[in-house]
Each structure stands twice: as structure tokens, then as C-alpha cells.
Structure 1
């Protein structure tokens, strides 16, 4: 489906593949909830990464020119009680389990992975703007989206 067809069918959601602790988490905040936006020049995606703090973030992401996005990282316990002499046994666990995760999905069309604007928000949302690919129109010296 082309970009225009994708935009006209707003009820269509790109498939998101989860692996690792993101796949196992059945309660608590969901890892991998995704929003995708389209403008004339760029794509925007926002993906929920609850439990990951920007300061300690081990999140890496790759964006390929065909629009494939791969996000990998690690959910950790954090250090809230790191210096506590007590040991706690959890009786209720509603936060995503710790461990590595990977998320992959496709943007609606090709893009230029060199032209990105990432923002890891304080609420655990990774927000990235990536420019669409542009191509030269033969003999005109102009550029337009494919």
C-alpha cells in the first residue's frame, strides 16, 4: 500500500512485533504502544517505553531507508531501593518484567534515516521525526517525495 493509501485508512495500524520482556508483559503499562503520523515531508512515530528512564536508557534504534524501524533496549529494576538493607518479595507485580526487549515496525513509506529528530520524553515515550525520501525529477533539478 502506498503512503496515500495508508493515510486514507486511518483505522489501519502498522504491525508491531514485540520480543523479550515486552512480549511477556501482560499486566501493567504496555511496552510498544505506537502512534504514527504523516506530513508532506516527514513521518512521526511515538512509542511507549514505560519503565525506562532517559538518564539510564539503554535504548538503541535503527531506521532503514525502506521505513523499517527496530528498537532494542533493556527494562531494569531501577535503583529506587538500591541502598536499602531490606530485601523485598513482590506479592503483586503489575509493572512490565525486567529484561531485554525488541520492537520492530514499518513506517508507511521510504525515509532518509540520516535526517531524524529523536526526543526521549520524561514520560517514557520515544518520539522520532524522520524525513521522507526525496528523489530528483530527471531534467528538472527539483525534488519531490516518491
Structure 2
């Protein structure tokens, strides 16, 4: 798929963060969004550092108008849970454990039946969704809708 990068500042999506995504002050940012546009689809990538695939209850909802809502939970460190030793953390660089949500708008309407999700091992949620197209059909030589 050929993806164009739009560096124009008017294309910057408004991203809304809640929960631990909003509270994280240092460390890798949770909820950083990149959006790519091709002729037929949108690709978006969302940084979710600290979110573990098996324990996050990650949900990604894409609406027909292009609104995207992502929610999940950041769990605590497995080292602390599975260890008989108690650690007093002196430095807190990662986003704190807890629920989070991220929402933003894609540049246009989408076909919600044609969505492909991939939560990569590096903590990036990558989603491809096809743009909404008005169906075109012909009856007795007439094209609907007219082009």
C-alpha cells in the first residue's frame, strides 16, 4: 500500500487522553498517534508503551465517521508481582498502572467492516481501515450515483 505523509500542521489530529495516559509525565509517551493516508485506506499507529498484550484488555473501536476510541489497562511490573523480594522504586519513568483511553478522528469516513488490527511486540497498535466509498452501480446504461 502506498502511504503518503502529510506534514502540514492543519492535519495534526486532536488526540484526547484520559486515565494514566493523561497522568504520565515522564518516560515514553502513551498515546502518540501517527496517521497515514492512501487512495483507499487510512493507517494509524498508536504508541502504547507499558501495555502488555495478554493483560491489557485492549479495545479499539472505529466508528463510520472516522472517530477512533482505544481503551485498555496498564498493569504493574511482572517483576514486582512474581518476585518474593519487595522493591522500593526510586525512579518512576514508565506510565503508572491503571486504565487509559485515547480518542481521535481520522480524516474522513471509513468502512467499519474492513478494519485490520495488529498490536506489535514493540508496543505499537497498528490499524488499517478502508475509506468509505459510495457504491456505484449501473442500470440500463445509467450510472448511479453519477460521476
TM-score under structure 1 length normalisation: 0.86
Which residue in the other structure is 1:57 paired with? 56
**Match status 1:140 vs 2:143:** yes
| d(CA) in 2 for partners of 1:126, 1:9 | 21
Aligned to 2:93: 94
Q: After TM superposition, which residue ranges in structure 1, 4 or more long, deviate above 3 angstroms? A: none
Number of corresponding residues = 138
**Max radius of gyration: which structure?**
2
Residue 113 of structure 1, CA deviation: 1.1
Unaligned 5+ residue runs, structure 1? 1-6
Q: Where do 5+ consecutive residues of structure 2 fail to align?
A: none
Question: In the aligned structure 2, how far is the partner of 1:94 from the partner of 1:140?
Answer: 59
Displacement after TM superposition at 1:61 (Å): 1.0
How far off is 1:31 after superposition?
A: 0.4
Indicate if the aligned counterparts of 2:62 and 2:69 stay in contact, CA closer than 8 A: yes
CA distance in 2, matches of 1:58, 1:10: 34
Cα deviation 1:42-65 (Å, max 9, x = unaligned): 000000000112233311011000
What is the Cα-based RMSD across aligned positions, in Å?
A: 2.1
Between the aligned partners of 2:132 and 2:122, the Cα distance in structure 1 is: 30
Q: Distance in 2 between matches of 1:8 and 1:47?
A: 17
Structure 1, 122-131 or 81-90: larger mean CA deviation: 81-90
Paired position in structure 2 for 1:4: none
Compute the displacement of 1:72 (Å).
Answer: 0.3
Q: Secondary structure at the match of 1:135?
A: coil
TM-score in terms of structure 2 length: 0.85
For residues 88-142 of structure 1, give each alpha carbon's deviation from its aligned partner in whole angstroms, at most 9, with x where no partner exists.
1111101101100000000000001110111100000000000000103474268
CA distance change for structure 1 residues 9 and 102 in 2, over 3 Å: closer, same or farther? Answer: same
Corresponding residue SS for 1:62: strand
